[in-house]
Amino acid sequence: MADDLLSQLKTMTTVVADTGDLETIRRFQPTDATTNPSLILQAAQQPDRRARLAEIARGATDIDDALDAVAVEIGSEISELVPGYVSTEVSARLSFDTDASLTRARSLIERYQRHGVDPSRILIKLASTWEGIRAAQVLEREGIHCNLTLMFSVDQARACADAGVTLVSPFVGRILDWHKAKEPDADFSGERDPGVQSVKRIYEHFKGHGYETVVMGASFRNSGEILALAGCDRLTISPALLGELAETRAPLERQLTPLDAESQAPEPQDEAEFRWALNEDAMATEKLSEGIRKFMGDQRKLEALLRDLRQS
């Protein structure tokens, strides 16, 4: 009988846990882990963290200081459980401010160093806006590795690769959500899934042009999307889907295989070209904006929690 799907997937793709929950990470033993404001909020709301959160909140200079302290403390705990990268996100509020993103990213790295975590283990997450990509370009030149998130188009991915970004996280499930809302009766199963198709296009573009940027599929709605991307460089997977894969025994075929570069990369887009291409892609434009708003919504909930703890 075939091994479970998760074990097979690990032989062809680096598996990343999309969670801040330590027990999940211990159970599934991923190589890396990713967090975002929504996941940090979930982790922060765990009852056994409340006393520590209150201590952080009261000792912080302001709410931004408290937010980053919480994210780095949770990230540091995760770093003890995974051998690879831990992704920590710059505030979504700074998605359109390159200079502020740079300041916040450097501060996060300094905090990790104070916790004894080597900066090479950290991926700074930034939204795939023009400003976020420019911040990542500067950070990469400083030796700070970046993970560009909220990615919905090949043009966003191209700009990240041209900037020398370490890793990109093209979203799968949210692309599917958009198309299902537009065409509720369409069949988007298997190879027809537009989110899967988007990641494949990005993967093939990167490998075909010799980019070193890592492709990490993210935001999955079902295990079928994951299996359709088996062989992708990395896949970041929620606890529920990790569990489903671990409990299912069936043969798994590799779907993506790196090929030798066939041609040189095209000329990088300038800002006007990037913004026009994004504007022409209604799905990418809408989902990028929506994603930033959603992350900020969860960040505001965490901010409110920390304010209450500061005053308690």
Q: Tell me, letter by letter, the H, E, C secondary structure of 43-63.
A: HHCCHHHHHHHHHHHHHCCCH
Structure tokens at 46: 């765990």
CA dihedral sign, ordered 73, 62, 120, 41: positive
CA 5-176-84 angle, to 5 degrees, is 45
User: What distance in Å separates the CA atoms of residue 265 and residue 183, rounded to the nearest whole number?
Assistant: 35
For residue 146, CA distances in Å to 79, 120, 163, 219, 271 come to 16, 10, 11, 18, 20
- Cα angle 122, 124, 128 (rounded to 5 degrees) comes to 150
H/E stretch holding 122: strand 122-127
- At 242, list the tokens: 């990790």
Residue 248 backbone class (left: φ over 0; alpha: ψ -120 to 50; beta: rest):
beta
What number of other Cβ atoms are within 10 A of residue 84's Cβ?
14
With contact defined as beta carbons under 8 Å apart, do 152 and 277 qualify?
A: no
**Which positions are catalytic?**
125
Q: Which residue has the tokens 């009766």?
A: 185
Residue 309, SS3 per DSSP? helix
Question: Could you give the 3-state DSSP secondary structure of residue 12?
Answer: coil
**CA–CA distance, 202 with 208 (Å, rounded to integer):** 10
